[in-house]
Structure formats: C-alpha cells, structure tokens
Amino acid sequence: MFQIFFSKYCPFIYGRGKIKLGAQMGYCMFLLWAPISLPALYYVIVPPLCLLRGIPLFPQVKSLWFLPFAYVFLARNSCSIAEALCSGDTLKAWWNFQRIWVIRRTTSYFFGFIDTITGTLGLSQTTFALTDKVMTQDVSKRYDQEIIEFGSSSVMFTVMATLAMLNLFSLIGGITKAIMDLEYFKSLDQLIVQIILVVLLVMLNIPVYQALFTRRDKARIPSSVLFNSILLASLACLVPFI
C-alpha cells in the first residue's frame, strides 16, 4: 500500500478537489503503515542498548517533562483497551494484538518499506513468495490453542528473533550491572522509563522465546534462526556506540 502513496493515486493527488483534506489524510493513514516501522524499530533497538550502557533517553519520573510521555502512553493504551473491550474482546486478546502489532511493525512493515523504496529507485522489482496454505491437523490444533505458528528460517523470523534476544540480553545485562556496578545502580532513577519499556518488550516476546527455546513442535523457530539471532544480538550488545 505504500506504493500507492508514491503513485498518481495518492489521496493528496488523486483526491484533490474530490474529497476533503481530512478524508485524504485518513486514507493516507493506511498507506503509511510501512514507514511507521522506522520509529517502531527505534523504540525496540535504541532504548535497550542505551539501558545496557546506562545512557538515559527519557526524563526522570519526578520531572515535569515526564508527564507528556506518561500521558501519551496511558491515553493510547487506555483507549485501545476500551475499544477492545467494547468490541467484545478480552484483555488477553488485546495483549496478543500488541504482540502482533510489534512483530508486524518491526518485520513485514519494514520489509515493505525497503521494497517500496528500492522499487521506486529502480534498484529492485517486487516479487511474491508462495507459502503453504494447507492447514494440517497439527496446525489446526495449535491454532485452537492460540499458539503462534513459526517453523520457517526466513529473514523475517531472524529479525524478529534478534530483536527479542536483544531486549532480553539488555534486560539481563542491566540487572547484572545494577548489582555489580554502584555507579550504574545510582543512575537507575534516570533509566526507569527504559527499564519499563524493555520489560514490556520482553513480556511481549514471550511466545518468541518459547518458540526459540522450549517448543519442540514443527512450528517452532529453527535452530539456525536461534543461532543467528543470538550471534547478531550479542554483537549489537558488545559493539560500543561510535
């Protein structure tokens, strides 16, 4: 859909004089899903790395500058929960949607963004990969049990697993440094927001960790993806900022 935004059918171009500006902006909200991956990737990568190195990114909780961040977080999630409950969903369903929201924005949306940019510049052509649509009895059983289906060694799963391991390593490393390093422990009041963010990301990625370490069914994440994700996440944690 991001390709439509760069074409003559962009709502701001094709809809000019035909629909109101508000409607044009509303249509563009769906066309700009792909670039939304960039801020999502920032919040999944940069805060955990800065937490590991003791670099604060957000205002302290006791500062007035913290209020806008708290307001946005509470308002967004409160409205989202209210909409889910009003539509008949449960809190568990809402939480699972947050998982899918993070996975989509850091994988498929990002690949769509890169594909559109390279295609627009004439560097590549869009291709379609055929996937198996047959649902076996095992797949149906896992679906009924609300178990996420992985089972592939594609680059998308490697990115997803790497980001999950990066946040896990950063959380473990931050806890270890807080115990071993007195200076780091004294700066924890400046890192509260990042700690909360990383903890939430780790909780959202619990199904990914299960698919990496504990699951033994065919839909688990392959060992090759596990090895690559640990290697890439370790390198990201060990390489200092330039």
Give the model confidence (pLDDT) of 148-175 as tens digits. Answer: 778 777 888 999 999 999 999 999 998 8
List the domain boundaries for the chain.
1-32, 33-238
**Would the pLDDT of 116 be above 90?**
no
What is the Cα–Cα distance from 66 to 193, expressed in whole angstroms?
A: 9
Two tokens, residue 172: 């473990």
DSSP percent split of the chain into helix, strand, coil, nearest 5:
70, 0, 30
pLDDT digits (tens, 9 = 90+) for 121-145: 777 665 656 566 666 777 777 777 7
What is the Cα–Cα distance from 106 to 226, expressed in whole angstroms?
A: 18
Find the mean pLDDT for residues 200-216: 92
Confirm if 198 and 51 have CB atoms less than 8 A apart: yes
Which SS3 state, helix, strand or coil, does residue 132 take?
coil
Of all residues in the chain, the percent with pLDDT exceeding 70 is 94
* pLDDT reported for residue 128: 57
What is the Cα–Cα distance from 232 to 241, expressed in whole angstroms?
A: 15
Nearest to 203 by CA among 172, 170, 177, 164: 164
**Would the pLDDT of 32 be above 60?**
yes
Q: What's the DSSP call for residue 210?
A: I
Q: Judge residue 73's burial from the number of C-beta atoms within 10 Å of its C-beta, 0-12 exposed, 13-18 middle, 19 or more buried.
A: middle
Q: Which amino acid is at 55?
A: I
**Would the pLDDT of 41 be above 80?**
yes
Which SS3 state, helix, strand or coil, does residue 37 take?
helix
135: part of which helix (H) or strand (E)? none
Q: Which residue is associated with the tokens 């999630």?
A: 77
Q: pLDDT band at residue 242, thresholds of 50, 70 and 90?
A: very low
Distances from the Cα of 107 to the Cα of 44, 65, 71, 186, 234, angstroms: 12, 32, 28, 36, 20
Q: 10 Å Cβ neighbour count for 89? A: 14
**Would the pLDDT of 58 be above 70?**
yes
What is the Cα–Cα distance from 116 to 124, expressed in whole angstroms?
A: 9
- Indicate the pTM of the whole model: 0.86
Q: Measured at the alpha carbon of residue 50, what is the angle toward residues 96 and 214, in degrees to the nearest 5?
A: 40
Of all residues in the chain, the percent with pLDDT exceeding 90 is 42
Which SS3 state, helix, strand or coil, does residue 77 take?
helix
* pLDDT reported for residue 125: 65
* pLDDT reported for residue 178: 86
